Amino acid sequence: VSTQSTWGGEKLILLITGPGDGGSLSPSKILTYISIVALIIYTIWLYIKSQKDDDDSQDDQPKNLSNSTLALVSFMGSLDELAIFTSFLTSGKFLWYELIVGTFIACGIVVSICLGATFIKPLVNVITSIPLYAIIGAITAYIISGEVFGF
């Protein structure tokens, strides 16, 4: 399925951009741009929502974030990785099980670091004092700088 979607995506891009620009506008780049735009819109929405919440309630109660917020941020941040993983699979650089094992190892490392960081109370206090829109905005800026400067 991933091979057909990559092939179909490249054909669609060639159809839209013409034969001369196909190499500069790959499915990976398009998904990265979609991810960037979606994250910018979401950051602005979070900022506006936080300003309304601040106006509505002046209490210092911590705000609970929903699972849907976590899923949405994770999905938007992973759109470009989806294209990269598909490209790796279709190019033959990795076998499907190597990619799955590597992804699970990377996720395990990230979860371990995050769980370990929760035991450091001063760090938790600093991180929880940062508004969500600032965190998402920083992630968006990082993705944009990676795309602009190529890292």
Question: Which stretches within the chain are classed as H helix?
Answer: 2-17, 27-56, 67-91, 96-117, 121-129, 132-149
Which pLDDT value is given to residue 52? 83
Encode pLDDT of 11-55 as tens digits.
666 666 555 544 566 666 777 788 788 888 988 988 888 888 766
Encode pLDDT of 132-144 as tens digits.
889 888 988 888 8
- Name every residue whose Cβ is closer than 8 Å to that of residue 24 and which is 6 or more positions away in sequence: none
